[in-house]
Structure 1
Amino acid sequence: MLHLQQLQEGIDYIEARLESDIDLADVARAAGLSQWHFQRIFKALTNETLKTYIRSRRFANALEQLASTRLSVLDIALAAGYETQESFTRAFKDCFRLTPSQYRRMGNRSLFVRKVRLDESYLEHLRHNVSLAPTIEVRPTMRVVGLPTDYYGIDSEKNNLGQKLPPLWGQFLPRLNEITNAVPGVCYGVVLPAGPRTEQLRYLACTEVQGAGDLPAGMATMEIPASTYARFTHRGEARNVDATVNYIYGSWMVSGGRSHTLGPDLEIYDSRYHPTSAQSVMHYAVPVHASAG
Structure 2
Amino acid sequence: MKPISILEKALEYIEAHLSDPISLSDVSRETGYSYYHMTRLFTAVSGESVNRYIHRRRLSVASEKLLHSDQRVLDIALECGFQSAEVFNRAFKGHFGCTPIEYRRRGISRFVEAKVKLLPGDLEHIAFNVSHTPEIAEREAVQLGGLRGTTALSNNQIPSLWEQFLREYHSFFSTSAIGYSVCETLSTTYTQEGDIAFTVLVGSPVSALTSLPPGLIAKTLNGGKFAVFTHRGAFRNLYTTYLYIYGTWLPSAKAELDEREDFEVYAREVISYDDPQNEVKLFIPIK
TM-score (norm. length: structure 2): 0.59
**Distance in 2, Cα, partners of 1:125 & 1:288:** 24
Alignment of 1:92-111 (within 5 A): none
Q: Equivalent residue for 2:116? A: 46
Q: Equivalent residue for 1:192? A: 184
Q: Equivalent residue for 1:240? A: 237
Q: Equivalent residue for 1:142? A: 142
Residues 39 and 257 of structure 1: is their aligned pair in 2 closer, same or farther, counting only changes over 3 Å? same
* 1:213 CA drift (Å): 4.7
Residues 280 and 183 of structure 1: is their aligned pair in 2 closer, same or farther, counting only changes over 3 Å? closer
Are 2:168 and 1:175 equivalent residues in the alignment? yes
Question: What is the RMSD of the two structures over their aligned residues, measured on CA atoms?
Answer: 2.9
Runs (5+) with no aligned partner, structure 1: 28-37, 48-117
Q: Counterpart amino acid of 1:280?
A: N
* 1:202 CA drift (Å): 1.6
Alignment of 1:247-258 (within 5 A): 247-258=244-255
**Distance in 2, Cα, partners of 1:170 & 1:40:** 29
* 1:281 CA drift (Å): 1.4
**Distance in 1, Cα, partners of 2:216 & 2:255:** 34
Q: Equivalent residue for 2:278? A: 280
Alignment of 1:1-293 (within 5 A): 7-10=95-98, 12-14=100-102, 17=104, 22-24=106-108, 38-42=110-114, 45-47=115-117, 119-152=119-152, 154=153, 159-161=154-156, 164-179=157-172, 184-195=176-187, 200-211=197-208, 213-271=210-268, 273-274=270-271, 275-289=273-287
Give aligned pairs, total: 192
**Distance in 1, Cα, partners of 2:222 & 2:94:** 26
Q: Is the 8 A contact 1:185 1:271 kept in 2?
A: no
**Distance in 2, Cα, partners of 1:140 & 1:148:** 22
Residues 6 and 200 of structure 1: is their aligned pair in 2 closer, same or farther, counting only changes over 3 Å? farther
* 1:134 CA drift (Å): 0.7
Deviations 1:11-31 (A, max 9, x none): 52456x5xxx6442xx7xxxx
Structure 1 stretches of 4+ moved >4 Å: 3-6, 196-199
Deviations 1:24-78 (A, max 9, x none): 2xx7xxxxxxxxxx32332xx134xxxxxxxxxxxxxxxxxxxxxxxxxxxxxxx
* 1:147 CA drift (Å): 0.4
* 1:172 CA drift (Å): 0.5
**Distance in 1, Cα, partners of 2:189 & 2:280:** 31
Q: Is the 8 A contact 1:183 1:210 kept in 2?
A: no
**Distance in 2, Cα, partners of 1:171 & 1:260:** 32
The worse-fitting range, judged by mean Cα deviation, of 171-180 and 131-140 is 171-180
